[in-house]
Amino acid sequence: MYLLDIKVVSVNMVDLTEFHMKIRHVKETIPQIIDYKTLHRAGKVSVKKAMDFLNISKTDSITLSTDDEILISSKSDGIRLPILPRYRVQIPEYVLQKLGISGKTTICFIKRSNAVAIKRFDIKKIESEYPRIIDIETSYVVTRQVETFGDPVNIYEKLKTEKALLNIKINPNDYWKEKYTFNGWKARQILDIENDNDKVLQLELIQQRLSSQSENGSWENKLPLTAKVLIELNELGLTSDHPQVKKAISWLLEQPQSPHNPGMFLLSKDLVQKQIEIVDQRLKQTSGQRPRFRNRVKAEINQINEADELYFNPCGSRIMWVNGMVMEALLLHGYESHKRLQSALDTLAFGDWCECHYQHGKSAWKRKQSLSLPEIEDYYNQTLIEFKQGGIADINLLSSLPSQTFMLRLEEKILEKHTEYLLRMPMPQQGCEYITVNALSQVTNDRINRLVEAHLWRFAALLYNALQQPIMSIEGAKYSLTIYFQLRVLAKYDSLAAKLGILFALPWIINNQNRDGTWGTENYRESATLAIIEALKRIDF
């Protein structure tokens, strides 16, 4: 039986060993911030997380020392601080003066060997050329310096000028010249490589796909595979007027939909019923942990895996990934005006394209109407701020989330008057967002277009971060978010944000080319290379 001209890849494609080693190393060798607290002039503050780190119980006492910095520990020498109710201690007046506390102030607690340092915590935001976050630490103060992107138009013009100095090491054309597969045919169209046999190959590829279609119009009764073949047939030149294409589209449109995700496509009719049952249980249950619809079942994940080399181990296979693939196919074939797609687009206009958010659909959403265009415009403006801040949505979060989360200190630089710590930046994490944006490049709906543009700004910043801290991006790559998949998504859009993301990646693209002119490993070489040449085509490289 015909399967696509691609290999099914293992969900263990990304090795997280090096990532986990790096995380463990920085936690063990670099002093991390374990907590932030608001300290008032009265001087009482909770030290529970510091007590947990020091393994101090409520019946023990804490010792305060103020030699080179202010430390609390369980040692016997120093000033004893009694533990008050709610794990609070009274900070002495002279310590408050050292910290510069004169009113409501944020302080932080930093790991030390058998102790915890207390320091005033300030945030300073400055415009730079490219974003990063560093902690500048002195004896009594930590200043978290947030360096932001400059003007995106200026960055774009600068990167366009710089790209003229870069060159692809090996022309990828030779790799594709004699590849008589769908990917080979497609690559030659992108690269304008002439091949006398391509007309014949095009007809063979079309017939190969049509001859393996099931009687009901699907391919193997699988929505992802059917969507994938329809996308390929569209690229091969077949339109929705073709009887077999029309039959496949009808099969997709006739698949049951859930009342909780109107218009959207779930992986199977059984899952539609399962979601209805789970939501009903949740509505009836008044106490205890309620059941969740989202689940990552291997057999379901494999349906996404087998449809595309770059779609391995999807984070949300029951709704968002299959919905993205099916909607992409239907939009390519001109079905945006169909009532089911109009309903699906309206459901997507609720925003927050993550399976965790959509798993119970309208039953879990506080609002009953999708976002209006003015509301989406506000969100778009917020994402421009998020882009400038290197993927940080809210600067205030930087004084509330301990370093063990995404703000981990990665590198330490000891200078004469202070120590600098480079922090981990936000990384691509939600594949559901990317597969949804990947699907919507043909949409004309104003609200959806603006939502997509907002996501593209976020994606550009996150891709930049992943390129700057590649070991940290591996965690997202385990859910398909490789550089190749991110570039494939950006290549579908002719926008400033998408082109910026591709230009950010250009040095990486050049440095990671294989000796045969391709990109990626053997498991996904053709798809990775196609993603790269599509991205390069977008920036006229």
> Could you give the domains of the chain?
31-151+408-423 (3.40.1550), 166-389+427-538 (1.50.10)
pLDDT tens digits for 189-248?
Answer: 999 999 999 999 999 999 999 999 999 999 999 999 999 999 999 999 999 999 999 999
Residue written as token pair 């005006």: 337
Q: Are 472 and 390 in contact (CB under 8 A)?
A: no
Burial class (CB in 10 A: 0-12, 13-18, 19+), 176: buried
Per-residue tokens: 370: 């999708």
Question: How confident is the model at residue 92, as a pLDDT?
Answer: 93
Quote the tokens at residue 67: 């030699």
CA-based nearest residue to 464, from 353, 540, 388, 407: 388
The reported pLDDT for the residue numbered 37 is 95
pLDDT at 13: 65
Question: What pLDDT was estimated at residue 57?
Answer: 87
Q: Which helix (H) or strand (E) holds 409?
A: strand 409-414
pLDDT of residue 90: 94
Contacts 24+ apart (CB under 8 A), 35-38: 35/108, 35/109, 35/402, 36/106, 36/107, 36/108, 36/109, 36/121, 36/399, 36/400, 36/401, 36/402, 37/106, 37/107, 37/108, 37/109, 38/104, 38/105, 38/106, 38/107
**Strand-pair partners of 133:** 146
All residue ranges of the chain with pLDDT < 50 are 1-11
Instruction: Quote the pLDDT of residue 404.
Output: 62
Whether the Cβ atoms of residue 528 and residue 310 lie closer than 8 Å to each other: yes
**What's the pLDDT score for residue 405?**
67
Cα–chain center distance at 505: 16
pTM over 0.75: yes
Residue 58: the pLDDT is 81
